[in-house]
Structure 1
């Protein structure tokens, strides 16, 4: 039995508030910096109150961008990052759920070997196999294309493993009942397994969307055309330019805009995301 002690409750809330302040304060400083002009940072100090250039800075970065950094307007890079993140997230989920379905519900030779081969690829991320992957993409003529940016990142052993573990909890009686009702493999998958996997799909989508959104090394290698730059690449270019010309207010504007899509995805899918993590419906 847990005792109700007011002092412990106050201490717990103080620790939580301190943790929130530590996490939120840098974000607040970035937002404040994005509302000021470049001259406000010449002293090396960041103001603590918002400035008057909020709309001017955001409009300038979205429509024009910092051309001296060699990057296009921010809306182009945001769109590229959104396309890449959506393709990677949906592609990983689509391939992984089909792979797990085949491994669990179809009896074919060496199916466990196939699963372990997929699982072993966890030890070979893109950073480890980056040179041969780059050569394959270059030989196929996929440089400076959305296909080259996304296809090498679509396969996911983690998602396959998680779907497999969930499918193993599905009762055999459910599959037998569907078979008696005349449901074929795809109908069983579409009408029964997909609805049951809704929370898992939502949780994985949030994680994989953020994974695709923050990609930097691979897009940096396969893109030389500014039309395919991602927002993370753009921020790096802006920050490098800021070393010579102190325009940190524009860098922080790009940072705040880059934060919005992942934050919106987490907020909109929070309920399903939490359910998928704590497995309340399994």
Structure 2
């Protein structure tokens, strides 16, 4: 129970405001830096108010890139990142949903052994298995392709575990009633299990979309064709400069563009995201 004390309310709001400033100030600096010409930063001083080159800088990185730094146009990179993030998020959810449903509702031999083997893969991050995974993708001729960007990352022990825990909370009476009405396993999954997991799936989608969008190491390895570069790779490439100062205004413009889609997804799905974390529709 929160006590009704005015000074405590003021302290809470001040703390919240300070935390908000600490989080948003670097983003604001990045945005301000993206609105000035590159010569502004030769002195090492970053202004605090936006400049007059906003449209010029953003149109340049979106349509032309930075030839001096070897950066292709960022517009196609945003599309590549969107395809990769959606493919990873939807693929992880589909595979995890089906595998968790099978583990909970089907009585086959060694089903719990299979679940714990899946769960133990949490101890094997991408960096540990990246060499054999790359070898498999190369042998299948999937380098420089959307399939190579997404398929190796769509297996998810975390999503399987979360869906399993959700299905375990669904009352057994629902499954019995569906069986009495003649509903098979897939009809039960489509008409009952999936609708009940709507908020949980929304929260999981937001997390997995951001995970896929922020991938850097794997796209860096499997793509050598600029047509498949992602925007996170673009930030690193535009910051590279040989024997000259980096174009920090364009670096910041690419960084700001890179954070917009995840922010839009979080804002658009905020209510479902919060409900999916704190409650379930049963």
Q: Deviations over 1:204-249 (max 9, x none)?
A: 1000000000100011111111111110111001112288224101
- The CA distance in 1 between the partners of 2:174 and 2:280, in whole Å, is 19
* Structure 1 counterpart of 2:214: 214
The count of residues paired between Structure 1 and Structure 2 equals 282
* Structure 1 counterpart of 2:112: 112
* Structure 2 counterpart of 1:15: 15
- The CA distance in 2 between the partners of 1:243 and 1:200, in whole Å, is 50
More displaced 10-residue stretch of structure 1: 235-244 or 85-94? 235-244
Change (3 A) 1:181 1:280: closer
TM-score, length of structure 2 as denominator length: 0.98
Q: Kindly indicate whether the alpha-carbon contact (under 8 Å) linking 1:242 and 1:248 is maintained by their aligned counterparts in 2.
A: no
More displaced 10-residue stretch of structure 1: 244-253 or 210-219? 244-253
Q: Secondary structure at the match of 1:42?
A: helix
Runs of at least 5 residues in structure 1 that lack an aligned partner in the other structure: none
Q: Secondary structure at the match of 1:168?
A: helix
Whether 1:255 aligns to 2:255 is: yes
Q: Kindly indicate whether the alpha-carbon contact (under 8 Å) linking 2:238 and 2:246 is maintained by their aligned counterparts in 1.
A: no
Following TM superposition, by how much is the alpha carbon of 1:194 offset from its aligned partner in structure 2, in angstroms? 0.5
More displaced 10-residue stretch of structure 1: 181-190 or 64-73? 64-73
Following TM superposition, by how much is the alpha carbon of 1:181 offset from its aligned partner in structure 2, in angstroms? 1.1
Q: Kindly indicate whether the alpha-carbon contact (under 8 Å) linking 2:206 and 2:265 is maintained by their aligned counterparts in 1.
A: yes
Q: Kindly indicate whether the alpha-carbon contact (under 8 Å) linking 1:202 and 1:272 is maintained by their aligned counterparts in 2.
A: yes
* Structure 1 counterpart of 2:267: 267
- The CA distance in 2 between the partners of 1:112 and 1:33, in whole Å, is 53
Change (3 A) 1:141 1:75: same
Q: Kindly indicate whether the alpha-carbon contact (under 8 Å) linking 2:36 and 2:50 is maintained by their aligned counterparts in 1.
A: yes
- The CA distance in 2 between the partners of 1:208 and 1:201, in whole Å, is 10
- The CA distance in 2 between the partners of 1:200 and 1:118, in whole Å, is 20
Following TM superposition, by how much is the alpha carbon of 1:280 offset from its aligned partner in structure 2, in angstroms? 4.8
- The CA distance in 1 between the partners of 2:147 and 2:133, in whole Å, is 13
Change (3 A) 1:73 1:6: same
Alignment of 1:147-162 (within 5 A): 147-162=147-162
Alignment of 1:86-235 (within 5 A): 86-235=86-235
Following TM superposition, by how much is the alpha carbon of 1:272 offset from its aligned partner in structure 2, in angstroms? 0.5
Q: Kindly indicate whether the alpha-carbon contact (under 8 Å) linking 2:95 and 2:155 is maintained by their aligned counterparts in 1.
A: yes
Q: Kindly indicate whether the alpha-carbon contact (under 8 Å) linking 2:196 and 2:280 is maintained by their aligned counterparts in 1.
A: no
Following TM superposition, by how much is the alpha carbon of 1:152 offset from its aligned partner in structure 2, in angstroms? 0.6
Following TM superposition, by how much is the alpha carbon of 1:166 offset from its aligned partner in structure 2, in angstroms? 0.4
- The CA distance in 2 between the partners of 1:218 and 1:142, in whole Å, is 13
Q: Kindly indicate whether the alpha-carbon contact (under 8 Å) linking 2:101 and 2:164 is maintained by their aligned counterparts in 1.
A: yes
- The CA distance in 2 between the partners of 1:25 and 1:60, in whole Å, is 25
- The CA distance in 2 between the partners of 1:2 and 1:155, in whole Å, is 43
Whether 1:29 aligns to 2:29 is: yes
Following TM superposition, by how much is the alpha carbon of 1:39 offset from its aligned partner in structure 2, in angstroms? 1.3
